[in-house]
Structure 1
Amino acid sequence: MRLVSLAAAAALLAGCSGGGDDEAARTVTVATTVEARDTVSQAVAPATQGSIAAAVARVLPSVVSVQTTSFGGGEGGGSGVVFDRSGLILTNNHVVEGTTSVTVSFNDGPQGPYAAEVVGTEPARDLAVLHVEAENLEPVQLADSSLLRLGDPVIAIGFPLDLGVTVTSGIVSGLNRTIESPNGDLTGLLQTDAAINPGNSGGPLVDRAGRLVGINTAGIREDGTEGIGFAIAIDGALPVIERLSRGAPSGEAWLGISFGSVDSESAAVQLGLDSSTRGAAVTVVYPGGPGAKAELAVGDVITVADDVPIRNANALQTLIAKRKPGDELDLEVIDSRGPRLVTITLAPRTPGEVP
């Protein structure tokens, strides 16, 4: 994987795609329908102080090892985290994609391994929800990942390289990152220098109080590259997780555009806008899609959507994740000629709508 640099009106934009997977990639496996209950408590601001050991001890009962079998007897694995007491477990789609069986083992608490059902997957967000029949589970607590700042301390926990539970620590190195994946661009990611190795995928990235801020998803392993890992910010993931937990199809709504962040004075000025402008800038408009029908154009900056201020690309992606195809969005848009209002009807992704 590599960082994505979208060809845009402003090279300073952090790329963010509104879609990029095909129909097969969007298929959701629903083995059972589970109503989320006894879920984690309301998220709070991430903790930046405290002992790493104490944070690990607090979250460790919620961390699981995920083992998979695929056609032909191939074996794989990753990590996961307990989301609620009913047995819902979060992991990455790529951990369970193409598997014939999934089992889960707990580091602390219930004995295992337990057979796990895949409740639902969202390949475009690299998220999967599993369910196990087990008692006395300890759900992870949440922190508000939108309040993270560059330099905040974080801890990655998982089961890499068949070594057993492993803890690494670092800082938040970047926000709202975009990387390429086999199922399209992953957007709104947290970047960290905490080591994320094969097997860490799906495990938690937590703050100094052991509260979840992200789901580890990828580490860059290229010659000469060190300390670059990525996690799915939990704030943006929650709407998808809640939908999949109900066994609902992904049906992810699509704007028919790619967009990037205008989150600095230099990015705004380069687009010919006032330096105080913040929002999500259109970098690609896909022919025949909702954006094209609404006459959006490359260089347009979306600053408000349905009365919600849009300060960057991740804010727009998070809002879209809470909507469904057929919903209308009222957008406040600005370009170098001035502001205007646009109403756009969200559509489901279908083959051929994006490259």
Structure 2
Amino acid sequence: MIMYNDNNENNENDSQYRYSGSDIPYNNTNNGSTSNNNTAFSSAPYEAKKHKKHKRGFARKAACFVLSAVLFGAIAGSVMFGVNYAGGKIAGSNKSDATGVNIPTVSNNISNVAKTDSSLTEDTNLSASGKMDAEAVATAALPAMVQLNGTTTVKSSSYFGYGQSYEATSSGTGIIVGKSDTELLIVTNAHVVDNIDNLKCVFSDGTSASCSVKGSKSDQDIAVAAVSLSDISSDTASNIAIAELEDSSDIKVGQQVVAIGNALGEGQSVTTGIISAKDRSITVNNVTFTGLLMTDAAINSGNSGGALLNSEGKVIAINFAKTSSDGVEGMAYSIPVSNVKDIIDSLMTKQTRNKVSSDKAAYLGIAAVDITSNYASYYGYPVGILIRTVADDSAADKAGLETYDIIVGFDDQTVTTMSGLTNMLQYYEAGEKVTIDYYHMEGSEYVLKSTEVTLGSKKAS
């Protein structure tokens, strides 16, 4: 069985290959206590002569009033000083962010490691004996790796067809591969970030920031996410690094490699191994992946989206699945960078999107079913979303989409499931124009077409 290497597992039991993952719950415990101190002022004994009591009572009240005013002023002043001081500290920490900060590359880090280690040459992380130095690679590359944590809604069903939904935590790995004027760019697997809410990026120094998905290609299991530089402190920027993507076309079987990933959601860990095989194909969740690298480096749950590195600390592949069948060990799979470099470059330039409010969210106006790879191979259909009905005067209807058309792309992103398309629509506002790729039956075969769609709103429909 093959598993994706993330901690968001919801896979078919009969699949030989699965994403390596399991739900990792986070336990957040807030312990707090409050104490109430009641101070009683003892009054003087009751006096028989009321006018004397009245005078003494008035004087005492006046004195208490003055003392209370003084104490209130002192306390208020102290509180305001504390608030202003804390506010100043917080504001001060936010004044210096990562915007404009120069972030080093992993190659620079390796060069620095080599200069301080006499057993290494100055231009490579190879030791004098010519063997790979895993410690040097790990030291240089770990700052370029991030944890990607979030939540997802899991639906379960019983024997009688009744089901329930619950929220589970999910974790995977990302690789920092670039920086624009406003964003830090991170490559990962599509299955690590698709349909994930509250996505957070945790850096090597333990700090975290909100993360948004720029785009994903589920048929290639590649995605690019982004973190705003304004959400990263200059201190964090000085502790992270940018990994370089290396051409993987000339990789050799037997070549030594280092794998880094967020194993079991417990933070980054390092394993080593070799390239066991090239050009392998596997099918995971009814999607077939080809041209993969196989490695015997240990790949565990949470490693999805992590890096497979060569001796220079450069990313030659992205880890994403492993064999989980009983009695099978040392069979993990990685996506070669050469296979997806163009996709990564394209996704990095896409507009970063955040979920829009439900009253503004886009609506397509279709009811559809998923065409899985098994169903497609049996009936000869393309893998995608088969339209069953199109609402009258909806965005889909106006764009010319028809019953039995099969949608395979949305805004230059691969889409293969209705749930995936529904999730994408949450990031688009009604009125936006996008291109939809679809197969349309002409004669006895499906022909790939594209159409521009002006997205509608559910209220309007």
TM-score (norm. length: structure 1)? 0.57
Paired residue type of 2:297: A
Q: For residue 85 of structure 1, what is the aligned residue in structure 2?
A: 179
Query: How far apart are residue 114 of structure 1 and its match?
Result: 0.8
Alignment of 1:1-355 (within 5 A): 1-2=1-2, 49-71=131-153, 72-86=166-180, 87-108=184-205, 112-133=207-228, 134=232, 136=237, 137-182=240-285, 184-247=287-350, 350=439
The answer (yes or no) to whether the contact 2:299–2:322 under 8 Å persists in 1 is: yes
Paired residue type of 1:104: C
Query: How far apart are residue 39 of structure 1 and its match?
Result: 11
Fraction of identical pairs, as percent: 32
Question: Relative to 1, partners in 2 of residues 1:197 and 1:2: Cα closer, same or farther, differing over 3 Å?
Answer: closer
Question: Relative to 1, partners in 2 of residues 1:73 and 1:168: Cα closer, same or farther, differing over 3 Å?
Answer: same
Number of residue pairs matched by the alignment: 229
User: What is the CA–CA distance in structure 1 between the aligned matches of 2:143 and 2:327, rounded to whole Å?
Assistant: 35
User: What is the CA–CA distance in structure 2 between the aligned matches of 1:228 and 1:126, rounded to whole Å?
Assistant: 19
User: What is the CA–CA distance in structure 1 between the aligned matches of 2:302 and 2:104, rounded to whole Å?
Assistant: 26
Query: How far apart are residue 97 of structure 1 and its match?
Result: 1.9
The CA RMSD over aligned residues, in Å, is 3.7
TM-score (norm. length: structure 2)? 0.45
The answer (yes or no) to whether the contact 1:173–1:192 under 8 Å persists in 2 is: yes
Question: Relative to 1, partners in 2 of residues 1:65 and 1:233: Cα closer, same or farther, differing over 3 Å?
Answer: same
Paired residue type of 1:143: E
Tell me the SS of whatever aligns to 2:301. coil
Describe the superposition over 1:32-72 as per-residue Cα deviations: whole angstroms up to 9, x where unpaired: xxxxxx99799xx9988431100111111101111011134
Greater RCO (CA < 8 Å, at least 6 residues apart):
1
Describe the superposition over 1:266-297 as per-residue Cα deviations: whole angstroms up to 9, x where unpaired: xxxxxxxxxxxxxxxxxx9x9799xxxxxxxx
The answer (yes or no) to whether the contact 1:39–1:84 under 8 Å persists in 2 is: no
User: What is the CA–CA distance in structure 1 between the aligned matches of 2:293 and 2:125, rounded to whole Å?
Assistant: 14
User: What is the CA–CA distance in structure 2 between the aligned matches of 1:191 and 1:46, rounded to whole Å?
Assistant: 23
The answer (yes or no) to whether the contact 2:177–2:245 under 8 Å persists in 1 is: no
Which of these two proteins has the greater Rg computed from alpha carbons? 2
The answer (yes or no) to whether the contact 1:77–1:199 under 8 Å persists in 2 is: yes
Q: Which runs of 5+ in 2 are unaligned?
A: 4-102, 108-123, 154-165, 353-372, 383-411, 414-435, 448-461
Query: How far apart are residue 233 of structure 1 and its match?
Result: 0.3
The answer (yes or no) to whether the contact 1:151–1:173 under 8 Å persists in 2 is: yes
Paired residue type of 1:187: T
The answer (yes or no) to whether the contact 2:146–2:173 under 8 Å persists in 1 is: yes
Describe the superposition over 1:156-183 as per-residue Cα deviations: whole angstroms up to 9, x where unpaired: 1011113322111110011111111226
Q: Which runs of 5+ in 1 are unaligned?
A: 4-37, 250-257, 259-283, 290-322, 325-346
The answer (yes or no) to whether the contact 1:40–1:84 under 8 Å persists in 2 is: no
Question: Relative to 1, partners in 2 of residues 1:287 and 1:70: Cα closer, same or farther, differing over 3 Å?
Answer: closer
User: What is the CA–CA distance in structure 2 between the aligned matches of 1:223 and 1:287, rounded to whole Å?
Assistant: 33
Q: Which of the two has greater helix per residue?
A: 2
Describe the superposition over 1:233-283 as per-residue Cα deviations: whole angstroms up to 9, x where unpaired: 01111111111112279xxxxxxxx9xxxxxxxxxxxxxxxxxxxxxxxxx
